[in-house]
Structure 1
């Protein structure tokens, strides 16, 4: 039944995709934990979780796409999608706010407190300052500078925000070639960002001595930039899906919330990176 013509609210059948998504996230978390602790097989578990996550994303997207193309969604369903995406992005804002809060606490409160007179006997000779390993950690490292790959990645992500907006304008004005060209450029910029960040991580581990074991600076650096890189990877996968749909002729100037949802997410990723560049790399 076409929900647009009959005014019915579409109620989907029970789905196994959420279970697969949960299993994928479990595999990613478990694999990353095993890999960090150098337990054999951790990398394979991480890879299996990632593959399962990609399968879930494409499968679940495909199901929703099929339902949308069949006309099963009306304006009430569309409003539900918009609210759901809004709350999802809000939860992501709170997720990163927790890590930025941890960084603020360490730099502004915890490290200075460890150098106070009251703690002089506990950690003698600890000078504090930032960046620091923290007291009792002697591994040397060099902090990651801002005016190299991080600056280029900032330009790349800001440019990708422009290209996805340009694609959106093309969609709203019925210019399919502009839509597809803008999405191709955005995907290419996203992949370039991921590649440069992978190179940056390799440089940090092999030449700077900057690892997860490099004390509080290393931990906060990799937690913030690593989770952001994971979000960029997911956003790029979603953009590739939307690009495929655009090439297939999906979306109209009036109905294209799937595109808008991905663009919202991508702009959120851009904003988070600006915070990372300022507070993690620059200051």
Structure 2
């Protein structure tokens, strides 16, 4: 009998859970630890918060997986999951929009003002930074960010773009395998996607090392360095999270989970991964290329 035949008609209400309060304490500990580290303290609180979050994710998601496999979720519950994931991805869109907005503001408004190219910047340029040229990339007036070389798009960034787009194709191929009940295709597609994600992260780590040691490009290299590492760094974090989620989907598929009719967890992971793909395209165009 399928899960759909077991699923109740009413909305499933779980029993009281301790995971929400543990998640709250974990996030607060992580935030406090991060603030402590940035202000010269140790990393103990930060690592403790991170460990608690990992434990919470294993415990809470494990509970949801067991409930799903028992057939406790109805179609109404499935719709709730879909709406929840949709709003989560929307919040992620707004998160990256803020950083893209900062990049746009700096390049379109701040740099020209400092260079005296607009009426707003005449006094600023004339009185404070008379020798500043409004060019991008910039390390700021009077070279406050020190010498650095910008990152060119047609090396590792272009290769990583191809890798990430290919991973989207392998994930879609895996989804087709799931829908067609072709378990080997599902497993191969998921394994290839995870491998491509790990390869992307490995090349990005090499790119960061090259930027720091060969190009002298750091977080302190003016507005260009800070926006470059904030945007690409947070994207790398999202790729890491997405690769972990897809690895979980692979292990669940190996365990025989998911059917063509009931596989929203797989779909949610795919939505997240395709979102990461789209963000990278924006990064490649506006951070590396233009």
Mark yes or no: TM-score above 0.5.
yes
Is structure 2 residue 164 aligned with structure 1 residue 162? no
Q: What SS is found at the alignment partner of 1:181?
A: helix
Contact 1:31-1:46 within 8 A present in 2 as well: yes
Give runs of ≥4 in structure 1 deviating > 6 Å. none
Give the length in aligned residue pairs.
280
Cα offset, 1:11, TM superposition = 0.9
Query: Compared with structure 1, are the counterparts of its residues 27 and 139 closer, same or farther at alpha carbon in structure 2 (3 Å cutoff)?
Result: farther
Q: 1:141 aligns with which of 144, 148, 153?
A: 148
Could you say which residue in structure 1 is the equivalent of 2:197? 190
Any conservation in 1 of the 2:33–2:45 contact (CA below 8 Å)?
A: yes
Cα distance change of structure 1 residues 225 and 177 upon mapping to structure 2, 3 Å threshold = same
Q: Partner residue of 2:184?
A: 177
Deviation at 1:142, TM superposition (A): 1.1
Alpha-carbon distance, 1:60 to partner: 1.9
Give the C-alpha shift of residue 15 in structure 1: 2.9
Gaps of 5+ in 2: 117-121
Deviates more, 1:22-31 or 1:213-222: 22-31
Separation in structure 2 between the aligned mates of residue 262 and residue 75 of structure 1, nearest angstrom: 19
8 Å contact 1:156–1:189 — kept in the other structure? yes
CA distance in 1, matches of 2:103, 2:258: 42
Find the partner of 1:15 among 17, 35, 39. Answer: 17
For the pair shown, which has the larger CA radius of gyration, 1 or 2?
A: 2
| Structure 1 residues 188 and 51: alpha-carbon distance in aligned structure 2, compared to 1, 3 A threshold | farther
Following superposition, the deviation at residue 195 of structure 1 comes to 1.2
Match of 2:57 in 1: 57
* Counterpart in the other structure of 1:86: 86
How much has 1:8 moved relative to structure 2? Answer: 2.2
After TM superposition, the score normalised by the length of structure 1 is: 0.92
- Which structure 1 residue ranges, 5 or more long, are not aligned? none
Task: Tell whether the 8 Å contact from 2:8 to 2:72 is kept in structure 1 after alignment.
Answer: no
TM-score (norm 2): 0.90
Work out which of the residue numbers 268, 271, 278 in structure 2 matches 1:271.
278
